[in-house]
A and B are shown apart, each in its own frame.
Chain A
Amino acid sequence: MIRICPLSALPPGEALRVHAAQDAEPHPPIAVFHTEEGEIFAVDDTCTHQDASLADGWLEGCEIECPLHESKFNLRTGQVDSPPAKLPIRTHTVHIEDDHICVEMSDAQPNLPPGVKFGVES
């Protein structure tokens, strides 16, 4: 479990990119979103189509649009709602503890774009 930040530090409509190194294991950065409707979601930050930070994207409802080529992902399921991306983004479980956003990292394999390893240029 990763403690991200106090809930109040991420207002509705905002996003945060987090470099989440866990157990010294290299890890792709994640993005945490607070939707206008008040839900918190955590997903891998890198678009599965090409290296771009989803935290820089356009948040609408529980859908995030990549700032580079406008692929859209459902933050709840990770599924692609609009191309060019073909693969879903990995989603993580969010808990709120002591008014803090905490993220439980998924064990699933991340779907990173071609040429990108752990969010860092290989």
Chain B
Amino acid sequence: MKSITVVGASLAGLYAAQALRQQGFDGELTIIGDELRRPYDRPPLSKDFLIGKIDTDVLSLEAADEDLYARWLLGSPAVSLDTASRAVVLADGTRVASDGIVLATGARARKLPGSAAMAGVHVLRTIDDALALRTELLPGARLVVIGAGFIGGEVAATAKKLGLDVTIVEAMATPLAGPLGAMMGTAVCGLHSANGVALRCGVGVRRLTGSDRVESVELVDGTVLPADVVVVGIGAIPNTEWLTGSGVALGNGVECDHQGRTNVPGIIAVGDCAAWHDFRLGRAHRVEHWTGAMERPAIAVAALLRGGGHGENHEEDRHACIPYFWSDQHGVRIQFAGHAAEADSVTIEDGSPENFCFLAVYRRGETPVAVLGMNQSRAFGRWRRQLRAVHSATLQSLPPVLER
């Protein structure tokens, strides 16, 4: 391959570009990004950056002396892909043709319908989102966070520390039941009430009231929560619309094999926009974890440089990455690895949920399938390694797990 274009200039895009160079690609490299900024790290946006402890300069994902010898096309999103000529077309009309393409366009925050024109309503995904939100997080202001997921939880914790009056509204009866299971979801969310954040679960949002600026959040049970600021944290949508009609297979994200290869030879996908084949589920599955966006590009890039089409080498290199994510809330470090949905039991192995310092192991029969730690980094790291070993060993023999 003489030329490769990476579409997307965040974590997965940058790490794909780095992997290309590290794996010996010395051809023409183009990196396309819709934001004008160079690649930056997003996890701090809801924590240290939002609270004002750090600024944009330290969010850079590139080292100071790093040079990928790439052509950077920033500030204009990709709007279409011509697979026949392998050309990416940008909104400003630029057309970039190359031999290989890495799709890394990420995901965007899901918005609440009808809230677009209302001041005081925020999502959090980009530096600009965080800058806009941070000017409004003033002591004494009333903040309503919609969604008790990790973004919502982190924003709530940060805002509480800044002296706001914070309420979280969650449509599901048990917050975080999806990623952590009901029991541990309840345990982790207990952090909020212990730190003075109000939590309203099992009730949806009917509408936001206000004209130019938001005034309140009205719930489906009729409750009206007065609000000066609202943060909507209800998930993300993969940025794949631009690929519609291109011939690249799309489902919930770009559908790929277990090495990130799409159905079109020479095109791979990584990061939040990509749904890699998951052998445990027996289908493509999109994950939005930061660690996946960091680890997977090297695997996909190796497959791209090796050549070959979709479906080849299916039995080799079933990589043993297990899902991992972390969150820092109210001064507590939360870490999770594995597949909670596979578990039929959860036991506290150490510590106690009451003081938010514990390690919980999820098992399916006798086999550990996931681990959760709150302020238990050392033990968590050891369990995570053990899980990885179990995962590798069982991947070959286990039939796909039926989803619940």
Q: A84 an interface residue at 8 Å Cβ cutoff?
A: yes
Chain A residues with Cβ under 8 A from B364's Cβ?
A: none
Given contacts A69-B291, A83-B294, A84-B294, contact A115 B53 (CB under 8 A): yes
| Contact residue among A67, A84, A115, A121 (Cβ-Cβ distance under 8 Å from B377) | A67
B377 near A122 with CB under 8 A, answer no
B40-68 vs A, Cβ < 8 Å mask (1 yes, 0 no): 01001000100001100011010110000
Q: Which of A20-28, A49-57, A102-110 contacts B (4 or more CB under 8 A)?
A: A49-57
Quick one: closest A residue to B382, CB to CB? A58
**How close is A95's CB to chain B, nearest CB, in angstroms?**
27
Interface of A is mostly: loop
Contact residues of B between 385 and 399, Cβ < 8 Å to A:
385
A114 near B381 with CB under 8 A, answer no
Q: B2 an interface residue at 8 Å Cβ cutoff?
A: no
| Contact residue among B41, B61, B294, B381 (Cβ-Cβ distance under 8 Å from A67) | B381
Q: B326 an interface residue at 8 Å Cβ cutoff?
A: yes
A53-82 vs B, Cβ < 8 Å mask (1 yes, 0 no): 101111000000101111000000000000
Interface of B is mostly: helix
Q: B358 an interface residue at 8 Å Cβ cutoff?
A: no
Given contacts A86-B63, A114-B44, A114-B48, contact A68 B377 (CB under 8 A): yes
Alpha-carbon distance A67/B41, docked complex (angstroms): 18
Chain B residues with Cβ under 8 A from A69's Cβ?
A: 291, 294
Chain A to chain B contacts (Cβ below 8 Å), 26 pairs: A50-B44, A53-B377, A55-B378, A56-B378, A56-B381, A57-B378, A57-B381, A58-B381, A65-B381, A67-B377, A67-B381, A68-B377, A69-B294, A70-B291, A83-B15, A83-B294, A84-B61, A84-B294, A86-B63, A114-B58, A114-B59, A115-B44, A115-B53, A115-B54, A115-B58, A121-B53
7 additional A-B residue pairs with CB within 8 Å, beyond A69-B294, A84-B294: A67-B381, A68-B333, A68-B335, A86-B63, A114-B59, A115-B48, A122-B53
Binding site for A on B (CB under 8 A): 15, 41, 44, 48, 53-54, 58-59, 61, 63-64, 291, 294, 326, 333, 335, 377-378, 380-382, 385
